[in-house]
């Protein structure tokens, strides 16, 4: 019996590498993103290299109606998901008072609302079948407030809190929830978020993770049913420090790292 995993944000970065991880392990995949050319290129690669089934779903999940439409299409075709990977997301940096309201709304919709609704829509079937895995991609930004990146960090704090809570609710159902928290990673993220000149992403100031390594750790943690996985020793230390030091100090340090 084939196993099916849906990966959002699969056209590049961590999402693309996660799709490769699943395919390498024999999973059929539903690839979701906005860029059809990138998705079809990846689908062809996975089919050729790993002989797995693929389905391309061109979808802008920042559209409020998109999550339900996506799941409705899959259900209409009799596709039951064994794994949901909520990877799609983007950042919006700068002073919050100057953030573009429309881009801000799209980010909140994608990073939090779409992730939550997709999870809600696929969970009943997983619970009924008594098997399934959810992998939500957050960030080490989830562990502290981030001046100059305020709303983005808040969305990732939501993802972490939400993931841990429903993981506890689902204990004993056969369904697990894993939250992947990478630090700065070599992807398109920094450019899209206008963060390339921040201390976080300037070369040499903080260790940059590789997307393929982050994806591999996230995939392995998901398969093992771990609740939270922080990639990289430095990132683990930073997350611990955020719990130990006074909140005001943590916020001030984060602000210096996020500022351009």
What letter does residue 227 receive in the DSSP assignment?
S
CB atoms within 10 A of CB 255: 16
**Active-site residue flag, 50:** no
Determine whether 135 is exposed, middle or buried from the number of CB atoms within 10 Å of its CB (0-12, 13-18, 19+): buried
Which residue out of 50, 152, 158, 219 is catalytically annotated?
A: 152
Catalytic residues: 152
């Amino acid at each position: 019996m084939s196993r099916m995993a849906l990966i959002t944000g699969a056209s590049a970065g961590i999402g693309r590498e996660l799709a490769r991880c699943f395919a390498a392990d024999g999973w059929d995949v539903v690839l979701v993103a906005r860029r059809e050319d990138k998705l079809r290129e990846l689908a062809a690669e996975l089919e050729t290299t790993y002989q797995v089934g693929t389905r391309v779903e061109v979808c802008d999940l920042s559209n409020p109606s998109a999550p339900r439409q996506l799941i409705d299409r899959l259900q209409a075709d009799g596709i039951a998901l064994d794994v949901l990977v909520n990877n799609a997301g983007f950042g919006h940096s700068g002073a919050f008072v100057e953030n573009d309201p429309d881009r801000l709304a799209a980010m909140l919709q994608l990073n939090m609302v779409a992730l939550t609704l997709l999870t809600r829509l696929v969970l009943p079937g997983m619970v009924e079948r008594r098997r399934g895995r959810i992998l939500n991609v957050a960030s080490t930004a989830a562990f502290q407030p981030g001046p100059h990146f305020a709303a983005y960090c808040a969305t990732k704090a939501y993802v972490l809190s939400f993931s841990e809570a429903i993981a506890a609710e689902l204990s004993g159902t056969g369904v697990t929830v894993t939250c992947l928290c990478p630090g700065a990673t070599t992807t398109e993220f920094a450019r899209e978020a206008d963060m390339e000149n921040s201390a976080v992403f300037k070369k040499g100031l903080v260790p940059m993770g590789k997307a393929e390594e982050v994806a591999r750790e996230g995939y392995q943690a998901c398969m093992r049913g771990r609740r939270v996985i922080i990639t990289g020793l430095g990132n683990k230390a930073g997350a611990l420090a955020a719990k130990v030091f006074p909140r005001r100090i943590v916020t001030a340090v984060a602000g210096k790292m996020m500022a351009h």
